[in-house]
Structure 1
Amino acid sequence: MNGQKISILDGNTFVVSDGRGDIEATPSEPTGLFSIDTRFLSRWVLTINGQRLDPLSFDDLQYYEARFFLVPGGTAPNIDAKLSVIRERTIGDSFEEQLTILNHDEEPVRLEVRMEAGADFADLFEIKDEILEKTGERYAVVEEGALRLGYHRETYRRETVISSSEPARYDEHGFSYSIQVQPQSRWETEIQVRTQAIGPSGQDLRIGLRAHGEDRKKGLEEDLRTWIANAPRMVCECEPLAETYERSLVDLAALRFSPLSLGREALPSAGLPWFMTMFGRDSIFTCLQTLPFTPQMSVTTLRILATLQGTRFDDFRDEDPGKILHEMRYGESASFEEQPHSPYYGTADATPLFVVLLDEYERWTGDVALVRELEYEARAALTWIDEHADLVGNGYIWYEPRNRKTGLANQCWKDSWDAISYSDGELPGFPRATCELQGYAYDAKVRAARLAREIWHDEAFADRLERQAAELKERFNRDWWVADGEFYALGLDPDGRRADVLSSNLGHLLWSGIVTPERAGRIAEHLLGPRLFCGWGVRTLATGEARYNPIGYHNGTVWPFDNSFIAWGLRRYGFAEEAARIAEGIISAAGFFKGRLPEAFAGYERWLTRYPVQYPTACSPQAWSTGTPLLLLRTMLGLEPHEGHLAVEPVLPVDMGRIELLDIPGRWGRVDAFARGRLGPDRR
C-alpha cells in the first residue's frame, strides 16, 4: 500500500501522497501538496520514536478528505501492536491533518512524534518536464507556534505556513512532540498547513476564493449536499451506471476551479494531476456534457472565457482578437514568461465551441439574458473564424504555432505531437487543418444564425451566417472525402493533400451536423466497424493505420469523452442503436474503474483483455471523462429541448433495464424521464 498514490482535491488545491499519508516527492513526480500550479509541500513524513509507520487501511471519505490507519513500523498488527495511529486530512482553502495516537496497552507510553516537512515550490511544468532548476531563494523561518517555508524570486512569492493545535518544537526541517499517552487513551493534535500566493501588496492573491465559513469541513459537506441535491436524481437497474452516475457528480464537484481575480464562481478544471486549472476546450466540452445536470457551470464557464477572450495579436501566446483561450497557469514559469500560459491561446477549437455552448445553453435553459450579455464576445468569436483562422485562404480553420519553442504543435483536441498523420505515418507540414474543426465552425455558424435571428434580432447577420454554413458544408464534403475509403480525412496540409487515415474524429463530424445524410450511414459503419470499435469504445485511430498503437496517446487508445460525443453524433443522425452500443461499452468499462472513467484507456479488443487497460499516465479524475456518463445518459434517453419542452425518446442498450431520471432542470422547470431497455435473446 505504501507505493499506492492517494489523492484528495478541492478544485484549486490537491494533495497526492503514498498509502501511509507520507509525501516524499521527487523532481519528476506529481506527489505533494499543490495549489495554483505550485508544489507547497514536497516532504511530509511522520515518524514515532524514529520509525516510519506501516499502513493498515485507507478510507476515501470524500473527494476532500481521507483517513489513514497505521501502526508503528515492524509490528505485527494482528498480534502485538500496542499503538495505532489515525491521520485524517481535509483539503479546501487550506490543508488540515488531524493526528490521533491511540495507546492500547495497560501501561503509559512515552513517544517522540516527528513530522518532517519541506517545500521545493516546484512549478508543475518543472515537474512535468523533469527539470527543477530554481533561480529564486528558498527559506525556512521558525516563528512562535509556526514554521514558515517560503520561496521568492523578484516579486513572485509563495509560502507554506505550518502550525499545530498542540505545542510543538519547530525547526527548519519540521516539528516534533514529546508526549505521554495514558493506558487505553489517546493523544491528538490538529495540524494546519496554509498555502499563500503573495502578491506585490503583501496579500494572498486567492483571498475570497471558495470561502466556506468558520467550520470549513461543514461548509464543504453542505456544499456537496447542495450540489448533489440540485442535480437530477437517477434510479436504475444497471449497477455500473448507478455507480458511475454518482461518482461523476461527486468528481465534478471536486474539479470545480475558481480562477484568481475572477471571483468565487467555478468552472471545471481539466484533470488531476497535470491539469488542475482553467482550460477553454476542456471546460466547454465538459459543460456540453453536463448541461442537463449542472447548468450553472455553463454560465460561469461562458462568462469567464468571455472575460479572457483574446484582444490582440501576440505570437508568444498565440493570441488573436476574438480567440478563446486554451489554458491558464499561475506558476512561476508562467509568471516570468518562460511558458506562454498567462493565458495561452494555442487552440483552434475553443473559439467555435464557445458559440456552440452559448446556443446549447440557451436552448436548454431559455436564458436569453446571457445570450444578450455575451453577444459582443460571440460575434468576436465568429469574426475570428472568418478573418484570423483561415491561414490558407480557402475557407477552413487552420492552425500553426507561432510560438515554436514552448507552444503546442497540434492545436486541436488530439494535441500530442504525432496525432495528425498521413496514411504512411508521415506528419503533415504547417499550417494544418483537422476535420472536426470545420464541423465545429459549421455548427457555430448554424447556431449563431438562430441566436442572431431570434435574440439579437439581426436578420441580415443570420442570413449571412446560414449562407456561409451552407457553403462550408458543400466545400467540406467535396474536399475532405476520401473516395476509396468512403470516409472523411483526418486533416489537410496547406497543399490540399489529405491526411487520409480513419479516425474517431468522424464522430465529431456527425455531432456537428456537417456530414451529408447520404454519407452518414457509411460513417456510422466505420465507427462501429472492427477497425475503430474495440468493444469498449471507439479508438482514436483505426487498426491498420501506420501510427496505430493501442496504447498510443491519440493513436489507438479509447477516450471516454470522445466516445460520448460520437454517440451524441450518431443519435443526431438517427443511429440510436449504434449510439447505445457505444454507451454500453463505455459504461461497462466504467465498472472496472469503480465508476471513475480515466482520461483514456488502451484500444485492445474487448475479447482479448476482458477488462479495459488504463493508459499509464491518464488523468483521473478528468473533467470530460467525468462528464461522459452524463452525456451518454442524455443520449440513451434521447433528451432534447423542443419548442420549450423536453423531448424524451429513449433507446437503451440491450439488458440495461429500467432508468428513471427525475427532476431534470431546464426552461420547462423540472421534469422526469423514464425508459426501459429491451432484453437480450438469452433473457427473453
Structure 2
Amino acid sequence: MRERVSILDGNTFLVSDRQGDIEPSFDFPTGLFSFDTRFLSTWLLTLNGERLHALSIDDAQSYRTRYFLVPGEPTHYLDAKVSVIRSRSIGGSFAEELTVLNHSGQEVEFTLRVDMGADFADLFEIKHQRQKKGRTTPTVGENELRLSYHREAFHRAVVITTTAPADIDESGMTFRIRVGPHGEWTTRLQVATVIYGARGEDIRATLPLGGHRTASNIHAEQNELIDRAPKLGCDCQPLAGAYRRSLNDIAALRYESIALGVRLLAAGLPWFMTLFGRDSIFTSLQVLPFLPALIPPTALMLAGLQGSRLDDFRDEEPGKILHELRYGETAGFEEQPHSPYYGSADSTPLFVILLDEYERWTGDATLIRQLEFAARSALDWIDRYGDLLGTGYVWYSTRNPETGLQNQCWKDSWDSVSYSDGRLPGFPRATCETQGYAYDAKLRGARLARKFWNDPAYADRLEREAAALKERFNRDFWIPEKEYYALALDAEGRHVDALSSNIGHLLWSGIVDESRAGLVAQHLLGPRLFSGWGVRTLADDQGRYNPVGYHVGTVWPFDNSIIAWGLWKYGFREEASQICEGILSASRFFDGRLPEAFAGYERNLTDYPVEYPTACSPQAWSAGTPLLLLRVMLGLEPQGEHLIIDPAVPEGMGRVELLDIPGRWGRVDALGRSRGPHDHAH
C-alpha cells in the first residue's frame, strides 16, 4: 500500500506520497486542502528530469515535515553525488524550502523543476470522481504563478511565489542552477490559498484567530493545550506513547470555524476535516476528563446549528443535531446537502448525554442553563420526529433518497445493518444502540431539568419515559434463542439478528437488563466478536462478515473504547481490561496513533494488526480512545464534588499514574497498579 505523509494546521492540510509529491489521483488522493477544496492537485519535484526517492522523513511534528531525497532507484543511493532536502510547513498557507546539495568536488549544473497544478476539486468530487463545472485560469507573473477558479460567485485562488529566479509557465517553475563543489542552493516556495467572500475579500482574514499562522504560533498553541492535560507516568510504553500521540493529534485536529471563529475538533484526515455531530460528541466524551475546555465551543456550535424546520434535502427536523458541516463548492451549489446535513439518528440524544456528562465533570452550570432550549428541543425530537412509526423507538429513513445517507447510525455505510444471513432490511430501521442513547438522554435530561431548569414535573416525565423504554426495549430487541440483542428492528418490528459490536454500546447507555448483562459481556469477549486486538464490528460467522469490510468485521478503536466503558459500568472490570490491553497493544504497531479502523483478523493469525486500507489517520475519536481507556483502567467517575478513583489496570501493565486531573474538585491525582508481574515491553 502506498504511504501517505500529511501535515496539518486545522483548516489547512497537505497530503503527499513518501517523496513529498502530489499527483492528481482518485485512488490515492493527495493535495493541499483548505475548507473542503483542493488547492494543489499537482506538486511534483524532478531533478534533471528524474524523480527523487526518500532516504528518510522527519515528520515528528504535525505541521512540518522534512524529506531527505536522492535521484535514482533505491539501489543507487550509496553513490549519490547530489541530494535534495525538502522542508515544508503549514500554517494557513503552505511553504516549502528546497535545498540542493552538491556532494562532488566539481561545480555542477542542475535543472530543478516543480510541476504545479490546481484542480480546485471539492472533497465530494474527489470521492465520487465528478467533473468540475467552473473554469480555472492560470496567470504567470514575476516570480509568481497564480491559478484562479470561478463558478458564478464561487471564487478560489492559489498564489505560488519563489525567492529564487525561475522560468515560470502555466504548469510550474523550472530552476536552472549552478552549485559549486560541496556547495548548496536554496529557494523558498510560498503557496497562499485564497477563499473569496461576497465582497471579494479572503474570508479567513476576518476570523478572530486569523487565517495565517507561523509554525512557531502553531507550536506554542499546541504545547499550551497539551500542557493543560494531566501528566501520565506509567511502566507501559505503548500506553505512554499512545497518550502522547493522542494529545498531539487532538491539538492538531482543531480547526477554526468560519461561522463562529472558535476552534472545534475536526473528525479526521483526509476526508473529515470538519465538524461532525456524532464524531465531535464522542470525541468530546473521550477527552472530557483531560481537556474539558474543548467541549463548550463544540456544544455551542452544535446548538447554534440545531435543526429548526423540516427540510427533506438536508434531512433537517426541528431539534435535530447536525451530522456534518461542509464549506465546499458542492455544498454551496446544493449538489450535496451538507450546509449542514442532518442525516444521523443518534447525534441528537448524544448531544444531551454530552451536556450532562460535561456538567457532572466540570460543575459548569452556566453552559447547561444557556443550552436549556437546545437540550429540550433535542429531547423533544426523540419522540416527535425520531419515532417515525409511533412505536416508542427512534427510527431512521432518509428524507432525501438522492443524496441522503441510507444508514444514519454510527455504522453509516450502506451494508452495515444486516440480518445474520447477510440480507439487508428495508427502511425505516431502528438500531439497538440508538435506543440506548435515547434512554440515557432521557435520564440525563431528567437530572438537568431537576437540578438546573427548575422543572421537576418534566424530570418526572422523562424518568417515566426512560423506564418504559427500557422495559419495552428488553422485551422487543432480545433474541431468546440467540441470547443477545438484535442489531436493529426492521419496519415490521422483526429482529435484524446479526451479532454486532453495537450491543457493547447498550451497556454504556445502561439500557441492558442486569440479568442479561453477563451474556452480553460473554458475546463481546467471545471468539466470534473478539479478535484478540479488539471487538469486531460484526461477528465472524455472520453472512456479511469481512475482516477488511468497513463496518462488517473491522475493529474500530473508538467503538472499543465505548464498549470498555460500558463493561466497566456494569462491573465487568476484567473484560474491560481485556479490551484496553488489546487496543493499546495494537497501538504499538501504529507508532501510538490508532487508525480509524484495522482488520478483524485473529490476533494469533497475523501477530500484528493489519490497517484498513483507506482509514483516516489521524482521526479524532481514535485519538480520543487511549484517553477513555485510561479513564476506564483508573476507574474515574465524578460523584458530586468528588472524583471516584477505582482502578483495575490490566495484568502486566504495571504502574499507571495520572496527575492533575481537572474537574469540579480542582485537580486530583489517580494511581493504579496491575496485580500481575508488570512487563515494561508489554
Q: What amino acid is aligned across from residue 219 of structure 1 in structure 2?
A: N
Report SS of the residue matched to 2:464: helix
Deviates more, 1:174-183 or 1:114-123: 174-183
Q: Tell me the equivalent position of 1:359.
A: 356
Query: For the residues of structure 2 that align with 1:214 and 1:466, how far apart are their CA atoms?
Result: 49
> 2:619 matched to which residue of 1?
622
- Asked if 2 retains the 8 angstrom alpha-carbon contact of 1:136 and 1:151, the reply is yes
TM-score norm. by structure 2 comes to 0.97
Name the structure 2 match of 1:672. Answer: 669
RMSD value, Cα: 1.8
CA deviation vs aligned residue, 1:616-669 (integer Å, no higher than 9, x gap) = 211111111111111001000000111211110000111110011111111111
Q: Match of 2:70?
A: 71
1:193-221 per-residue CA deviation (whole Å, 9 max, x = no partner) reads 01111122111222255847987011111
Cα distance, 1:19 vs structure 2: 1.7
Aligned counterpart for 2:649 among listed residues 652, 660, 683: 652
Provide the rounded CA distance (Å) in 2 between the counterparts of 1:323 and 1:580.
Answer: 36
2:596 corresponds to = 599
Distance 1:271 1:161 in 2: 27
Distance between the aligned counterparts of 2:456 and 2:67, measured in 1?
A: 63
User: Do 1:423 and 1:545's aligned partners in 2 also have CA atoms closer than 8 Å?
Assistant: yes
Which one-letter code corresponds to 1:105 in the other structure?
A: S
Is residue 566 from structure 1 mapped to residue 563 from structure 2 by the alignment?
Answer: yes
* Equivalent of 1:375 in 372, 376, 388: 372
Match of 1:200 among 198, 201, 206: 198
SS in 1 for 2:204: coil
Q: Structure 1 stretches (4+) deviating beyond 3 angstroms?
A: 72-80, 208-215, 680-683
Deviations 1:480-521 (A, max 9, x none): 111111111110112111112211111111100111111111
Structure 1 residues 111 and 210: CA distance shift in structure 2, 3 A: farther
Q: Tell me the SS of whatever aligns to 1:592.
A: helix
Assess if the C-alpha contact under 8 Å between 1:150 and 1:158 holds in 2.
Answer: yes
- Deviation, structure 1 residue 47: 2.2
Distance in 2 (CA, whole Å) between partners of 1:468 and 1:558 is 34
Which of the numbers 140, 143, 149 marks the counterpart of 1:142? 140
Secondary structure of the 1:134 match is coil
Residue in 1 that maps onto 2:473? 476
What code does the residue aligned with 2:150 have?
Answer: H
Of 254, 257, 267, which residue of structure 1 is paired with 2:255?
Answer: 257
Map of 2:45 onto structure 1 = 46
Q: 2:245 aligns with which of 247, 252, 276?
A: 247
Deviation for aligned residue 1:75: 9.5
Does 1:185 pair with 2:183?
Answer: yes
| 1:140-178 per-position Cα deviation (integer Å, ceiling 9, x unaligned) | 011233211111110011111101223333221112233
The structure-2 alpha-carbon separation of the partners of 1:104 and 1:452, relative to structure 1 and needing over 3 Å to count, comes to same
Q: Which residue of 1 aligns with 2:80?
A: 81
- Structure 2 distance, partners of 1:682, 1:357, is 36
Select 1:158's aligned residue among 156, 159, 167. 156
**Aligned residues of 2:143 and 2:163 also touching (Cα < 8 A):** no
Distance 1:399 1:193, change over 3 A: same
Equivalences for 1:240-639 in 2 at 5 Å?
Answer: 240-263=238-261, 265-639=262-636
Equivalent-residue separation in structure 1 for 2:269 and 2:516 (angstroms): 39
Q: What is the aligned partner in structure 2 of residue 175 from structure 1?
A: 173
* 1:74-107 CA-partner distances (Å, limit 9, x unpaired): 6976554332211110112011111112223333
For 1:555-602, what per-residue CA distance to the aligned partner results, in whole angstroms no more than 9, with x for missing partners?
111111111000000110111111001100111111111111111111
- The one-letter amino acid of 1:312's match is R
Cα distance in 2 for residues equivalent to 1:169 and 1:365: 59
Residues paired across the two proteins, number: 680
**Residue type matched to 2:41 in 1?**
S
Asked if 2 retains the 8 angstrom alpha-carbon contact of 1:583 and 1:632, the reply is: yes
CA contact (8 A) 2:651 2:678 kept: no
Distance 1:389 1:142 in 2: 55
- Which residue in the other structure is 1:229 paired with? 227
- Identify which range, 175-184 or 484-493, moves more after superposition: 175-184
Match of 1:12 in 2: 11
Secondary structure of 2:205's counterpart equals coil
Question: In structure 1, what is the Cα distance between the partners aligned to 2:447 and 2:24?
Answer: 53
CA contact (8 A) 1:502 1:545 kept: yes
* Letter of the 1:511 counterpart: W
Q: Does 1:90 align with 2:128?
A: no
* CA–CA distance in structure 1, aligned partners of residues 250 and 645 of structure 2: 25
Structure 1 363/45 Cα, relative in aligned 2: closer, same or farther at 3 Å?
A: same
What 5-or-longer segments of structure 2 have no aligned partner?
Answer: none
Whether the 8 Å CA contact 2:209–2:256 is kept in 1: the answer is no
With over 3 angstroms needed to count, the CA separation of the structure-2 counterparts of 1:215 and 1:429, relative to structure 1, is closer
| Higher mean C-alpha deviation, range 268-277 or range 281-290 | 268-277
In structure 1, C-alpha distance between the alignment counterparts of 2:478 and 2:302, rounded to whole Å = 34
Instruction: Determine the C-alpha separation between the residues in 1 that align with 2:642 and 2:249.
Output: 29
Cα distance in 2 between the residues matched to 1:217 and 1:77: 35
The change in CA–CA distance for 1:484 and 1:680 in structure 2 (over 3 A counts) is farther
CA 1:184–1:583 in structure 2 vs 1: closer, same or farther (change >3 Å)? same
CA deviation vs aligned residue, 1:327-382 (integer Å, no higher than 9, x gap): 11112111111111111100000000000001101111111111011111111111
Residue 115 of structure 2 is matched in structure 1 by: 116
Rounded Cα–Cα distance in structure 2 between residues aligned with 1:369 and 1:682: 46
Within 2, Cα distance between the matches of 1:667 and 1:334? 41
Structure 1 residue 411: deviation in Å? Answer: 0.3
Mark the runs of 5 or more structure 1 residues left unpaired by the alignment: none
Q: Tell me the secondary structure at the aligned position of residue 152 of structure 1.
A: strand
Give the secondary structure class of the aligned counterpart of 1:422.
Answer: coil
Residues 212, 219 of structure 1: 8 Å contact kept: no
1:549: Cα distance to partner? 1.9
Task: Indicate the larger mover: 626-635 or 606-615.
Answer: 606-615
Secondary structure of 2:300's aligned partner: helix
Q: Provide the residue aligned with 1:36 in structure 2.
A: 35
Q: Percent identical across equivalent pairs?
A: 63
Contact in 2 for aligned 1:28/1:129 (Cα 8 Å): no
- The answer on whether the counterparts of 2:548 and 2:600 sit within 8 Å (CA) in structure 1 is yes
Q: Distance in 1 between matches of 2:76 and 2:83?
A: 9
Distance 1:678 1:128 in 2: 49
Distance across 2 between alignment mates of 1:370 and 1:681 = 43
What secondary structure is seen at the aligned counterpart in 2 of 1:250?
helix
For residues 429 and 390 of structure 2, the distance between their equivalents in structure 1, rounded to whole angstroms, comes to 13
Distance 1:681 1:662, change over 3 A: closer
Q: Which amino acid aligns with 2:127?
A: K
Alignment deviations for residues 453-483 of structure 1 (CA, whole Å, 9 cap, x no partner): 1111111111111111111111111111111
Distance 2:25 2:542 in 1: 38
* Contact 2:51 2:72 (8 Å CA) reproduced: yes
Question: 1:226-255: per-residue Cα shift (whole Å, max 9, x none)?
Answer: 121111110110011111111111111121
Q: Which residue of 2 aligns with 1:56?
A: 55
Amino acid at match of 1:673: A
Q: Residue type of the partner of 2:32?
A: L
SS at match of 1:206: helix
Task: Output the TM-score relative to the length of structure 1.
Answer: 0.96
CA deviation map 1:396-446 (0-9, x unaligned)? 101001111111100000111111112222211111100111100010111
Secondary structure of 1:654 counterpart = coil
Question: Would the aligned equivalents of 1:443 and 1:512 in 2 still touch at CA under 8 Å?
Answer: yes
522-531 or 397-406: bigger deviation: 522-531
